[in-house]
Amino acid sequence: MRFTKGIMAAAATLALTVGAAQAQDMMKLKIGTEGAYPPFNNLEADGSLVGFDIDIAKALCAEMKADCEFVTQDWDGIIPALLAGKFDAIIASMSITEERKEKVDFTNKYYNTPPAIAVPKDSDITDATDEGLAGKALGAQSSTTHSNYAEEKFPSADLKLYPTPDEYKLDIASGRIDAVIDDVIVLSEWLKSDDGDCCKLLATLPTDPVINGEGAGIAIRKGEDDLREKLNAAIAAIRANGTYKEINDKYFDVDVYGD
Amino acid sequence: MSAATHRLIPAQPAPPAPAKTWTASRVAGTLLLLFWIVAGIGLVYYLYAAWDIDKVERYAPKYRDGLIVTLTLVGLSIVIGAIVSVPVAIGRMSNNPVLSRIAFAYVYIFRGTPLIAQLFLIYYGLGSFRPQLEAVGLWGFFRDAWNCALFAFTLNTAAYQAEILRGAIDSVPRGQWEGAAALGLNRVQTLWKIIMPQALIVALRPYGNEIILMLKGSAIVALVTVFDLMGETRRAFSRTYDFQMYIWAAVFYFVMVETLRNVWNWLETGLTRHLKR
Amino acid sequence: MDNYLTLLSFGDQGWSDEIAWGVLITVSLALATLPIGLFIGFMIALGKQSEDWALRISAEIYTTIFRGLPELLTLFIVYYGLQIGLQLLLKFMGFDGTVEINSFMAGAMSLALVFSSYASEVFLSAFRAIPKGQYEGGYALGLRRGTVMRMVVLPQLIRIALPGLGNLWMILLKDTALVSAIGLTDILRQTGVAARVSKEAFLFFGIAFLLYLTLALISSIALSRIEAHGKRGEQSR
């Protein structure tokens, strides 16, 4: 008798919680981000997330009237984590490419900036071409379009892959690598800071639409068209009502939306 | 004899074997074996279904290169580590307090800390000492990640091999030393002709274990930009997000380890044949 | 020197509070893995000496697999693969929710899988060291098999297996450093983050070194105390 009563009580509680969850009309959205890619997304010393991506995400959530929660995830595992359901969307400067579209769906872009190469100030590398970088150690973050770009465009360079930009910054400062390739904004912001004192920008590279894609978008699991429509509508809305420009100008001197 | 044979009854058939009942262990065993068989078939089926000739063409050569890097790294570090372990073992067994304390500290530090921490310390830590290293002319060596990995692995395996060597030499009975002394052999002759052949037989199994552990431990160099088998696997996964990349890596590592283990077992049985009673 | 002291202070500017958190995670991960690994290892050892052929083979397959794979690879496969595998399984059975396996659980599970494989070998050799007469004496007294195992065999088994298990514990402490590769904030990861952000790599990885050595020292003292306690009944030679 006690056993059956216990089962019934448990079932009732379960029903209530499920009912309660459905009664809420605020959409809950878990957003995955990296937290190691300043100025787009970065973890402060006290554990809070800051950056362009974070502000855009918060603006989109306000626009969609959704209750958003951020989850940090290492870049290498961010798409598997999305597919495994750890979060519902990736807002982490992820470029929209055909290769990634095989695994996930993307919204429209929310910014588009070209890649660039930075070298130490005393470097003897003069041009950002395959010949100019032949035999040199070129650092990039693994699983990014920039590492793919380096593999395709600079095959004679000695490519080194790092889990986060912080590690290649350490290695170029110590002279282990001769050049790094990453987004032009990321590199410029770094070069402006104290850490970037060692180095200078070599060149901004032409975007390759196949490798770099259409720009950075929001990645969601395949088949979630409803979420995609909502996010696209929100992106268009913040572009139209000036919120986007406000966030853009807070971080950058140029318009990062691109054409 | 003849009296007995008259009264012997003809040979009877053997009693029936007791019926094999379904005990708990038999049920558990059958279920588990079934689980493994299903898992094995599932694995083969998954690899068959996920087989993509483009990916194979693209990544198989990279896997092969990674495999060569792994084997070279592990092989070199074991051999150099064996050479380095000899003075350390001598230090451990010596009566000189300074030498023995230094050797003990070395062995304790390198066996008490994770290999990955040692690798990071040498790779990143020495990187921040670039000016000093350049002054001594060693930066050229430590600049390359592969060299740093070799250095870290060699130091680590030397510590473990020193302990194996010491334990093996200790296991040889004191009587062997005394007999050699009675025959008037000096220390080197004793070690070379009497002690080491016996000690190495005892050390064979732990050496085999150490090689296998090094092979498995080498996977961590993928985290410091060395493209060994694990590094190529991670690179392939980061391009394709296809889980079978890891499964193939697992298959390769498993085959390597099992081959090594079985070869070592065969070697051991062959070399200890004379010890079997 | 001042700079170093600031970096090592507790609080917002310094990294000591993050590193202390890392020590907590490392120790709790090892302590969480230990009972699971010991229990599974014990069961596998029982399986390996069972009379049933299927059970023996299944146990052998288990240990061969998990001793044959690199720990880092096992960790990645459990972390990335298990979640996807479990979700496929649940979808297959009709349940449509999400299963969350966080890094801590993935780390504890893969470490337990590896630990139990090695522990089963230690238990097996300890089982072999117990004379059959102990079991027979227990049965002669009319005790059931479970009681014989619990009251007669297990106390002796633990004493014999203790050095081997102590070794495995030390290896476990070191293997916990691998979970830094799946984002778990253990000692190595926290010191790594501190090293990256502050550019003082040698300082922070050196601290990681010292922390692991301290843990190893504490463990070996504790283990020798436990062994001495276990041996207190033995006659001194």
CA distance B131 to chain A (A): 9
What integer pLDDT is reported at residue B64 of this predicted model?
92
Residue A74 has pLDDT above 90, yes or no: no
Give A182-204 pLDDT, tens digit per residue. Answer: 998 889 888 888 778 888 888 88
Contact B145/A176, CB-based, under 8 Å?
Answer: yes
φ, ψ for residue C70 (rounded to 5)?
Answer: -65, 145
Please name the residue of chain B whose CA is at the shortest distance from the CA of residue A162: B225
Q: What is the CATH number of the domain that holds C198?
A: 1.10.3720.10
Residue A10 has pLDDT above 80, yes or no: no
Tell me, yes or no, whether C105 lies in a domain. yes
Domain extent at residue A146: 115-211
Instruction: Give chains near A: 3+ CB pairs under 8 A.
Output: B, C
Contact B139/A142, CB-based, under 8 Å?
Answer: no
User: Does A21 contact C at CB distance below 8 Å?
Assistant: no
What integer pLDDT is reported at residue C40 of this predicted model?
95
The token pair that represents C33 in the structure block: 């893995």
Give B2-24 pLDDT, tens digit per residue. Answer: 666 678 888 889 998 888 888 88
Domain extent at residue C116: 14-230
Picking from A148, A176, A178, A195 by the largest number of B CB atoms within 10 A of its own CB, the best residue to mutate is A176
Q: How many residues does chain C have?
A: 237
pLDDT confidence tier of residue B1, bands split at 50, 70 and 90: low
Its pTM surpasses 0.90: no
Q: What percent of chain B has pLDDT over 90?
A: 43
Span between the terminal Cα atoms of chain C, in Å:
54
Q: Which residue has the higher pLDDT, A75 or C117?
A: C117
Closest partner CB to B230 (pick from C72, C208, C213): C72
Same domain, A89 and A120: no
Task: Give a three-class secondary structure readout of chain A.
Answer: CHHHHHHHHHHHHHHHHHHHHHHCCCEEEEEEECCEECCCEEECCCCCEECHHHHHHHHHHHHHCEEEEEEECCHHHHHHHHHCCCCCEEEEEEECCHHHHCCCEEEEEEECCCEEEEEECCCCCCCCCCCCCCCCEEEEECCCHHHHHHHHHCCCCEEEEECCHHHHHHHHHHCCCCEEEEEHHHHHHHHHCCHHHHEEEEEECCCCHHHHCCCEEEEECCCCHHHHHHHHHHHHHHHHCCHHHHHHHHHCCCCCCCC
Mean pLDDT over B146-150 rounds to: 93
Contact B124/C201, CB-based, under 8 Å?
Answer: yes
Same domain, A80 and A206: no
Contact C196/A167, CB-based, under 8 Å?
Answer: yes
Same domain, A234 and A205: no
Q: Please work out, in degrees rounded to the nearest 5, the angle formed at the alpha carbon of residue B83 by the alpha carbons of B81 and B87.
A: 105
- How many other CB atoms sit within 10 Å of the CB of residue B38? 10
Same domain, A69 and A186: no
CA distance C200 to chain B (A): 7
CA quadruple A39, A40, A43, A48: dihedral, nearest 10: 110
Looking at domain B56-272, its CATH superfamily turns out to be MetI-like (1.10.3720.10)
Distance of CA A21 to the CA centre of its chain: 30
What integer pLDDT is reported at residue C143 of this predicted model?
92
Q: What is the CATH number of the domain that holds A233?
A: 3.40.190.10
Tell me, yes or no, whether C34 lies in a domain. yes
Tell me, yes or no, whether C182 lies in a domain. yes
Same domain, A223 and A148: no
Give B258-268 pLDDT, tens digit per residue. Answer: 999 999 999 88
- Mean pLDDT taken over chain C: 87
CA distance B179 to chain C (A): 26
Q: For chain A, how many structural domains are there in total? A: 2
Of B27, B39, B43, B19, which is closest to residue C54 (Cα–Cα)? B27
Tell me, yes or no, whether A133 lies in a domain. yes
Same domain, A63 and A80: yes
| Half-sphere exposure at residue C38, Cβ-oriented, CA atoms within 13 angstroms | 15
